[in-house]
Amino acid sequence: MESALKSPLTRQNLELNKILNNYWIICEKSLQVHKFAKELECSFESLDALLSSNRNFTNPKLTAQMNEVFRMIEETLTQERQQGEKFVSSVKESAKTDAKLRVENAIEWVHNMLNEHERRFYTVNEHWRNWQDNRVHEEKVVRMVEEVQMWQEESVEIVRILIDKAKQAKTELERKEIKRKMDEVIKQLPKQKDRLHEAEQITKSAQSNFHPLILLLELKVNLTSDEAFERVEMAKRKCRDLEERVTELRSTVETLEQLAVQQEKEVIRAPVFTVQLRDAQVDEGSRFEFSASVDGQPTPHIQWLKDGRDVRDNVDYRQNYSKGVATLTIEETFVEDTATYTILAENTGGKAQSSARLIVKC
């Protein structure tokens, strides 16, 4: 009789122990899930702190820190998923023996938490990859701008020197050389401006890519690189300054060219003989010299003729032209030197000539 009475009680105790044991397992699993959930929240907070305190994409330490945080989050997510699945399995098993146990809300909470964490990790990880891509783009921007700035510094110095030279240029050759170097700078300007425009577009693209990340993480921080943007803007200002200097140089060169043309027109004078050749008679064997004075601007070219033929290849006739005086010297005359001699003077303004008769007597 006593044994029969104890059996139901024993069964109840066993069932109660089993329920309590299941509750204990559920509590353990729940604590594990909460533990990993808390670790994930800490990891996300670390990620937020890194994003909030660092804005230099070229910093390799930041990249290493960020990659380590993402690795830890991924590991924790895996462990959280495993513990969550164990928790769900435990509460479902307990619900089979305890009709009063309501597990739906707990299971839904775990699933929602796991999905939310994985969604958040996926979203942030995707934008972090964009961040890394933009870091590469920024390094490209910095290199492009540095190259443009080097060209600008060289060009500014070249233009400064050319402006100084242009103000002192006297000859057409000097002006042509200045203009040639100026044209080289002008030719490069559009190319350098195009490179700056490309760098600016890369920077703007980076800014637009980070805007969704700011909203998702609810961070009040500008994740774009101010350094790249400021470098581009500074280079653009220098480009405008250089264009102004080139415009100044071009104006100086054009003014000088106009003045040179005007001066050239003003100074050109056709040759005029102020002292003409004179007829002469000399004894054979004597020394004789023809002389004539000529004025003209630019300096006229002189040519001597004997009975219409050029005498420059005749070694017996020595020619000289200095300070407007032209001479033809015969050191020893012969009867054969009797002839009509003509001096021709020519420049861009015109021509002039003078003739005289030389008679050599036996």
CA dihedral 279→284→286→291, nearest 10 degrees, is: 20
- For domain 269-360, the CATH superfamily is Immunoglobulins (2.60.40.10)
Whole-number Cα distances in Å, 273 to 54, 269, 293, 294, 326: 87, 12, 6, 4, 10
Whole-number Cα distances in Å, 227 to 40, 57, 158, 235: 33, 10, 28, 12
* Distance in angstroms (rounded) separating the CA atoms of residues 242 and 191: 14
Q: What percent of the chain has pLDDT over 70?
A: 77
Query: For position 278, what pLDDT does the model report?
Result: 96
pLDDT at 223 over 70: no
Banded model confidence at residue 297, pLDDT cuts 50, 70, 90: confident
Query: For position 358, what pLDDT does the model report?
Result: 96
Strands in 280-283's sheet, in edge-to-edge order, are 280-283, 350-361, 339-347, 301-306, 309-310
| Candidate from 70-74, 196-200, 262-266, 354-358 with smallest mean pLDDT | 262-266
Check residue 316 and report its DSSP letter.
T
Contacts of 319 (CB under 8 A, 6+ apart): 302, 304, 311, 312, 326, 327, 328, 329
Amino acid at 345: A
Strands in 317-322's sheet, in edge-to-edge order, are 269-275, 288-297, 325-330, 317-322
Query: For position 354, what pLDDT does the model report?
Result: 96
Q: Per-residue b/e over 103-140, b at no fewer than 16 CB within 10 Å?
A: beebbeebeebbeebeebbeebeebbeebeebbebbee
Q: Note whether 232 and 145 are within 8 A (CB).
A: yes
Exposed, middle or buried by CB within 10 Å (0-12, 13-18, 19+), for 158? middle
Exposed, middle or buried by CB within 10 Å (0-12, 13-18, 19+), for 288? middle
Residue 210 structure tokens:
């980070």
Contacts of 102 (CB under 8 A, 6+ apart): none
* Closest by Cα among 151, 146, 229 to 189: 151
Query: For position 22, what pLDDT does the model report?
Result: 56
Q: Note whether 333 and 344 are within 8 A (CB).
A: no
Banded model confidence at residue 131, pLDDT cuts 50, 70, 90: confident
| Candidate from 124-133, 222-231, 343-352 with smallest mean pLDDT | 222-231
Q: State the average pLDDT over residues 70-86.
A: 82
Asked if the domains at 138-264 and 269-360 fall in one CATH topology, the answer is no
255 half-sphere exposure, CB direction, 13 A CA radius = 11
pLDDT at 99 over 80: no
Beta strand spans in 250-300 (E): 269-275, 280-283, 288-297
Q: Note whether 77 and 117 are within 8 A (CB).
A: yes
Q: Per-residue b/e over 336-347, b at no fewer than 16 CB within 10 Å?
A: ebbbebbbbbbb
Contacts of 285 (CB under 8 A, 6+ apart): 332, 333, 334
Domain residue spans in the chain?
A: 9-101, 138-264, 269-360
What are the pLDDT digits (tens) for 11-58? 555 555 555 555 555 566 666 767 777 777 777 777 766 666 655 555
Residue 8 structure tokens:
């139901």
Banded model confidence at residue 88, pLDDT cuts 50, 70, 90: confident
Q: State the average pLDDT over residues 315-323.
A: 94
Whole-number Cα distances in Å, 3 to 6, 7, 8: 5, 6, 9
Q: State the average pLDDT over residues 156-182.
A: 84
Residue 313 structure tokens:
């290849």
Summary mean pLDDT of the chain? 79
Q: State the average pLDDT over residues 85-108.
A: 71
Q: State the average pLDDT over residues 188-204.
A: 83
What is the assigned CATH class of domain 138-264? mainly alpha
